[in-house]
Structure 1
Amino acid sequence: MPSFKEAKERFRGSIAPVITPFNEDESLDLETFKKLIDWQIESGSHGISVTGTSGEPSSLTVEERELVMETAKKAVAGRVPFLPGTGSVNHNEAMRLTKAAQEMGADGAMVIVPYYNRPNQHALYKHFKTIADAVDIPIILYNIPGRTAVNLEVETIARLAEDCPNIIGIKESNKDFEHVNRVLLKAGRDFNLYSGIELLCYPMLAIGGAGHISATSNVAPAPVAEIYNAWARGDVKRAQDMHFEMMELNDILFKDTNPSVAKAALGMMGKIKPVLRKPMDIPSEALQKELREVLINYGIELKDEVKS
């Protein structure tokens, strides 16, 4: 296992949060899943994450999440860092999944703020510290207050970064740009900050971010990776241009709850069956029509229609 300092350097760039494909009967479609991972890596994604928000983890059993993680680990085969999402509303489930990630040889784990139950900041500190202390792999915190109904505050993040050497970064799906600036100020400039907000991928690089974990990479992995690549090679104008070029696609993919639009897009592209487990569903026909037009404008080859 590389040192945590080495992990900070290795876990940089566009880490793709890959969707979980299902068959028509809503069973796991693991063969298609492996093909998606190959496509992501071949398209230039710098890392792979699964069973995060885009992977519909709340629609999976714990055993299914472990199976998806194991399948992804084998598919990645060490080509890029593998950072599965192991968080849960249930502390014991998060512990089990994070330990499972370590046992299967994952490079690290991404652990979301528990959703629905809205723990206070001290409770969040104890939750994450207990998980971090139980494993030796790097941990990326995942803050997405729009989904969890509670924000992981800067002071809590900084405390965890100081007290837990293996907590090396955070995915911030937080539209408050002042907050994310203060994360680096308080947790340290070497703390890995990843954008989970599509319109903040480039701005977070500009303040010292380590990269992004963008749902848009499910549909357009190469240009999402190019934002980071351009910045890393010092081509600021190219990074800025890509930032603005991606806006229309970013916007359409979030006109309904993620990953419904991304799955519809991948269905149109012929890469998956556009199936979500209830209570989620694919977008309306009107939004599908709008999506199709946007994908065509981006030069994305379409093959199939998506039914309502």
Structure 2
Amino acid sequence: MQKFIGTGVALITPFKEDLSVDFDALVKLVNFNIENGTDYLVINGTTAESATITKEEKQEIINVIIKTNNKRLPLVLGVGGNNTALVIEELQTRDFTGIDGILSVAPYYSKPTQEGFYQHFKAIAQATDLPIILYNVPGRTAKNMEPATTLRLANDFKNVVGVKEAGNNQQQYYTLLRDKPADFLVISGDDDLALGVALAGGSGVISVIGQAFPKAFSTMINHGLKGNNKDGYAIHYKMMDVVDYIFAENNPAGIKTVLQELGICKNDVRLPLVKASTELQSKIAKFVKNF
């Protein structure tokens, strides 16, 4: 699955001040990433505020991104949830023309056992031929999918091609990297650990900050994939502060503030999220100006 190696970005959904989707800004964001080194785009993930976007809006967002992308980069679509039957229904009824793979989040809120995680993803893997990237994000789902479960899925289903690991747990990354099948992708979901994961044998990142600084971030990840730690860390150290800033309050309020400073979109978010505080906006504005 060469198409999912390198820097993927979890695209935000830009909003206008009335909180309708700003499709002009979305087109600008997609082109900005394509032109500056991003390797693939992730649509309607958590960073896209998918929990507060209607079914109709989601479809329009997908259509606009597919049209703007015009087959230039691989596209990954977020298709997941904690109702297994509904996820399967979406997989069997949606038109996936123009989509190269899906990112499927571990069931949130329900807190299944490891066997529950396995059976959930087994059912999903059997419902589609599309490549599946598992998404483990225990900080949001309230339960960690352990490496043994991820690796069991990787070994049992050929269309389970990778995992976006976002537990901010280095030991878990190392276990996955040590024990994974040869062609299984371990993708960092933690911007602060992404370079280290790439250097340790990972396949890259699905990044939040990468969509604001695609040239710098993808260059850093490419250094990591080539084992070039000196040049990679030179960029990592320059970006450390802004990575902390964008997750300081909530995601995507932080990254939307960065993108506003870059003139790409407004920093509006939908409730229950709120805009970044004045203090955080000021720190981000200073960083962007100096960077």
TM over 0.5: yes
The C-alpha deviation readout for 1:112-147, integer Å capped at 9, x for no partner, is 112122122111111111111111110000111011
> Hey, what does 1:263 align to over in structure 2?
256
Aligned residue pairs total 291
Aligned counterpart for 1:85 among listed residues 78, 81, 104: 78
SS of the residue 2:186 aligns to: strand
> Hey, what does 1:63 align to over in structure 2?
56
Query: Measured at CA, do residues 216 and 98 of structure 1 come closer, stay the same or move farther in structure 2, by a change above 3 Å?
Result: farther
The C-alpha deviation readout for 1:199-257, integer Å capped at 9, x for no partner, is 21111111211110110012211111111222345533211211222111111111111
TM-score (norm 1): 0.89
- Cα distance in structure 1, aligned partners of 2:94 and 2:177: 27
Bigger CA drift: 234-243 or 205-214?
234-243
> Hey, what does 1:286 align to over in structure 2?
279
Percent of aligned positions with the same letter in both sequences?
33
Contact in 2 for aligned 1:12/1:46 (Cα 8 Å): yes
> Hey, what does 1:306 align to over in structure 2?
none
Q: Runs ≥4 in structure 1, deviation > 4 angstroms?
A: 99-102
Offset, 1:174: 1.4
Aligned counterpart for 1:238 among listed residues 231, 236, 244: 231
- Structure 2: runs of 5 or more not aligned: none
> Hey, what does 1:305 align to over in structure 2?
none
> Hey, what does 1:149 align to over in structure 2?
142
Offset, 1:101: 6.2
- Structure 1: runs of 5 or more not aligned: 1-7, 299-308
The C-alpha deviation readout for 1:246-298, integer Å capped at 9, x for no partner, is 11111111111110111122122221122111111111111111111121121
Please tell me the residue identity of whatever aligns with 1:56: E
Offset, 1:100: 5.8
Report which structure shows greater RCO (CA 8 Å, sep ≥6). 2
> Hey, what does 2:152 align to over in structure 1?
159
> Hey, what does 1:215 align to over in structure 2?
208
- Cα distance in structure 1, aligned partners of 2:209 and 2:94: 25
Q: Where does 1:99-248 land on structure 2 (aligned, <5 Å)?
A: 99=92, 103-233=96-226, 235-248=228-241
- Cα distance in structure 2, aligned partners of 1:171 and 1:234: 21
Please tell me the residue identity of whatever aligns with 2:264: K
TM-score (norm 2): 0.94
